[in-house]
Structures are given as structure tokens and as C-alpha cells.
Amino acid sequence: MRSELLTLTNIILAVTVAISTYGFQNEDFFRRWLFSPYLIARRKEYLRFLTSGFLHGGWMHLIFNMFTLYFFGRNVEQIFQMIHGEIMGSVYFLLLYLGAIIVSDIPSYRRYRDASFYSAIGASGGVSAVIFANILYFPTQSVYLYGALPIPGFIWGAVYVIFSYQFDKQGRNDGIGHSAHLYGSLFGLALTVVLHPPVISRFVEQLLDWKLF
């Protein structure tokens, strides 16, 4: 049995912290790894779709994403391994997280590939996918807004998607990757259902059994 410390969630977390910290100190490295649709289109630097997910804009950005990944990632990783076996469960978990980082950047690439001013960083797409995979399996489990206010996962998820969609549609330039949040979430839902269709009936059953009070 593997040590509880040696999990994919913890490995991803440690690698991301190490790379982000290095990026804070090395501007040239940071520029080479960030997501730039303009440079990807012109230089064919497609690796930026993935590498940008290991960079962050500051300590608060990094801490928030990694704390969220740690909280939800352990659950999803264990569930995937229970359902699909340790090896394939680990492969699918990596596909969920890394795939979402890549896929969630595609809409921004299409929108901004001629905009030299635009760039983005952060693991928001991957973290969102993990959160929504967790919500599918545990829809009534509380998600703590700002670490204090408990909200049932399915309600939080619905509000999250609606706001992300509206903000992305408005093209808000507030430093938050609303597009990555939205498409990472949708990718997480879709992949989880494709990998394990019975999760839908489990989701519905838990909602039917749920009582607010």
C-alpha cells in the first residue's frame, strides 16, 4: 500500500509549488511558460497550454488553488482508484487534471490568438475539474465558501457555472480566468460521466435523499 503522502494529488501539489515559486523569481522562465495565444499561434509553442497551469500570479493565487486541490483532489483520486483500479484510476485522475488545464485554455486561445497583450496563468482549469468531479460523487457535501460558509456542492456548482459563464460572456478583464473556470468545470463533469456513467444515478439518488434541515 502506498504511503498517504505519496499520492498524485500531493505530487502535483509539490511540483506546482516548486515551479510557481521558481517562476516568481525568474521572469524569463515565467514568460516562456505562461499561456500566450498570440505566441502559440505564431511560434507553435503548444506546450504553453500545459505549462501555464503550473505558474501562478502570486502567493495568494497559488495557496488558494493548491489548498482547494488538496481538499478535493484526495477524494477524487481515491474514488477513481476504487472504481477503476489503482493504475487506471491514477491515469484517469491525471487525465482529469492535466486534460482540464489544456482544454480550458482552448476557448481563450481561439478568442485571443491575434491579441499580443493577452496572457494567462494558473491551475484553475484543472482545479475546477477536480471540484466538479467531486460534486458529481458527493453533491450534498458542503463546499466552504471563503473557508467559512458551508454550501451544498450541487448548489455551489450551479452558481459557480452560471457566474463563470456570465463573466466570460461579458469578457471581464478582472484578473480571474472565468473561461478556464467554466470550461474546466464542464470538462470535469463530462470526463467523470464518460469514465463512470453510473455516477449520474448516484448523483440523482443523493439529491432525492437530501434534506436542507
**Ramachandran quadrant class, 147 (left: phi over 0; alpha: psi -120 to 50; beta: rest):** left
- Are 104 and 125 contacting, i.e. CB atoms less than 8 angstroms apart? yes
Please give the Cα distance from 128 to 170 (Å, whole number): 20
Q: Work out the number of other CB atoms within 10 angstroms of the CB of residue 99.
A: 19
- Are 161 and 185 contacting, i.e. CB atoms less than 8 angstroms apart? yes
Higher pLDDT, 22 or 151: 22
Q: Which residue has the cell 499561434?
A: 41
**Given this model, what pLDDT does residue 1 score?**
46
pLDDT tens column, 93-134? 999 999 999 999 999 999 899 999 888 888 989 999 999 999
- Are 128 and 188 contacting, i.e. CB atoms less than 8 angstroms apart? yes
Higher pLDDT, 149 or 20: 20
DSSP string, 159-211: HHHHHHHHHHHHT--SS--HHHHHHHHHHHHHHHHHH-TTHHHHHHHHHHH--
Please give the Cα distance from 213 to 3 (Å, whole number): 38
- Rounded to two decimals, what is the model's pTM? 0.88
Report the pLDDT averaged over residues 171-197. 81
Please give the Cα distance from 108 to 118 (Å, whole number): 9
In this prediction, residue 157 has a pLDDT band, given cuts at 50, 70 and 90, of confident
pLDDT beyond 90 at 46: yes
**Sequence spans of domains, the chain:** 8-209
Whole-number percent of the chain with pLDDT over 70: 87
- According to CATH, the superfamily of the domain at 8-209 is Rhomboid-like (1.20.1540.10)
Residue 89, φ and ψ in degrees, nearest 5: -60, -40
In this prediction, residue 88 has a pLDDT band, given cuts at 50, 70 and 90, of very high
**Given this model, what pLDDT does residue 193 score?**
97
In this prediction, residue 142 has a pLDDT band, given cuts at 50, 70 and 90, of confident
pLDDT beyond 60 at 146: no
Q: Which long-range contacts (CB under 8 A, 24 or more apart) does 202-206 make?
A: 202/137, 203/136, 203/137, 203/139, 203/154, 206/138, 206/139, 206/140
In DSSP terms, which residues pair with 144 in a beta bridge?
Answer: 150
